[in-house]
Amino acid sequence: MRIEAGELGRWELTITAQKALHQTGSIQFVLFVTENPAFLDVPVIPSLVYIGDISSYDFNYHIEGGAGIVDANVSFSGIDPDWVSFTQIGDGNYSITIEANQTGTFSFSMIFSKYGYQMVNQPITFKVNRIPLTIEMAPPTWIITSDLTFNLTLEDATGMPVSDAFVNYTIAQGGVDLHIGVMTEDPNSEGTYIATISQTRVPWTGNQLYTIKISVSKENYHTVNQGLLVNIYEYMPPGYEVQVFVQTVVPQIAVGIVALVSLVIGRRMYRANKRKKALAILAVKRRFEDIRGILGIIVIHKTSGLGIYSKILKGGFDEGMMSAFITAITHFRTEFEMEELHWEFNVVPISDIISIVPTRNLLCAFIVGARPTMTLEDRMVGFARSVGAMFDETMAAPPREVIDDATHGLFDYLFDDIMDGALLRQYRVKKDAPFPRSQKCLQTYLEAYPPEDGFGLDKLADGMAMCGIQEGNVYRQIIDAIENGILESVDPQEKYPGFQADDDKSADSEPADL
């Protein structure tokens, strides 16, 4: 007798034997049909992957002895079904493909089952990070009387070039920003970005150090060395000094005339240097005045009038009403005054306190207390160019939902980096920070009035003015204290929620806020 178990459960089997002139005999059996023990061979799955990675892993579902279980049911729980799929490749082998579509830490279960075999539940945990990006840039050389051309390359963690990134730069001298611009990708070299600056835009002085600050942003990437600072080296062609000497000194014949000319030149140089220093101090003071004059910023979708982002610094303004007013005025002027194409990346005043800088698909509206200065207009245009480069394509159609924390954090970063919004944050003295002699007034004030929870820079400036220092020099000393690491933001880790979550800066990295 052969018994084949085809269904799980408890079975009673009765066998009866009969024959003429004999008693009938019977015997009863109880049979239990249970699942076959099953096992799962699990490959090594990395605990850290990068967003956008697509990885496949082979699992083997088998019984004791190694025979594979084919046509099993494979299901997943605790994860978006778009992230994971499987393919049966024969003899109990199944290829599981995982696609990482967003950052974070994820845990889910893979369940292998088939009727008649034990079910196996395999938990999987992994973390998804943004792709690290590194700026590679050699210090450029600036030849006197020539334009400055410089380039850099962007590479990911594997050394592959990174294209289609937004790269902006700031040229500074003595802590004063002189020029802000955007680098363009070289069409003949993937991942290489280049910029050329006319000498008429940033005059070559030959006696002070220039620096370039690089900032990079790209969706799903984080820049390892964000805010890279690179020195610019100067080069004077051979014979240039002799040429200058012959042109300026030889024609002077009389010693008295030479002495007089030298005195005049020396006095002019003194006045020029004094004027340059005064302009530098004025530029720093103007940075504070410009950011104080901004009442709010609103980024609006051009055709629908929907508000994308807003930062109202002073009360009294309703975002919805302001967006509707700005959109209505803009459409009216477009129809009756000029072609909208001529407005792109230009400052267009639409009222006494509102100016807009349009991009292709967005309007960057700036609410100001007075007519903006030329430096503030440059920053407004720079902000709009950055917004347009990053969001014109993705926001061509009207948005259907509120922007996420990462996008809002990116807007906040642009406001702090380009519009000097970082000057509005609360600051404190960095622990164990040394005070140089030039910061004696700052040290004296903070020791006399130690802040408990941080302080605003305007309040600090008012206190330092009691030392008898000129107002412009007060702001210059405050900027120096921030750049030298004496002052730090109260909560630097919470500046851009969702935007810099993976960009952990080391404690000894150079400050990149100002």
Where exactly are the structural domains of the chain?
Answer: 38-129, 132-240, 249-289, 426-494
pLDDT of residue 435: 81
Beta partners for residue 132, in sequence order: 222
pLDDT of residue 420: 85
Give the tokens for residue 507: 């404690």
CA distance 318 to 188: 48
The reply to whether 132-240 shares the fold of 38-129 is yes
Can you list the pairs that 310-317 forms with residues at least 24 positions away whose Cβ atoms lie under 8 Å?
311/411, 311/412, 311/415, 311/421, 312/367, 313/424, 317/367
Give 131's contacts (C-beta < 8 A, 6+ positions apart): 50, 51, 52, 156, 157, 220, 221, 222
pLDDT of residue 513: 44
The answer regarding whether domain 38-129 maps to CATH 2.60.40.1080 reads yes
Residue 17: Cβ within 10 Å count: 10
pLDDT of residue 410: 87
Give the tokens for residue 490: 């109260």
As a three-state string, the secondary structure of 414-448 is HHHHHCCHHHHCCEEECCCCCCCHHHHHHHHHHHH
pLDDT of residue 404: 84
Mean confidence (pLDDT) of the chain: 80
CA distance 257 to 253: 7
Strand order in the sheet with 362-368: 307-312, 294-301, 362-368, 354-358, 348-349
pLDDT of residue 88: 92
Percent above pLDDT 70 for the chain = 78
pLDDT of residue 128: 92
Q: Dump the DSSP string for 472-493.
A: HHHHHHHHHHHHTTSEEES-GG
pLDDT of residue 246: 61
This prediction's pTM: 0.46
CA 306 from centre of chain: 24
CA contacts within 13 A on the Cβ side of 58 = 7
Backbone phi, psi, residue 100, to 5°:
-85, 115
Cα end-to-end span (Å), the chain: 90
CA distance 505 to 496: 13
In CATH, what is the architecture of 132-240? Sandwich (2.60)
pLDDT of residue 135: 93
Give me the residues of the chain with pLDDT under 70, please.
Answer: 1, 4-9, 11, 32-34, 145, 203-208, 236-262, 264, 266, 270-281, 315-318, 320, 330-342, 449-453, 491-514
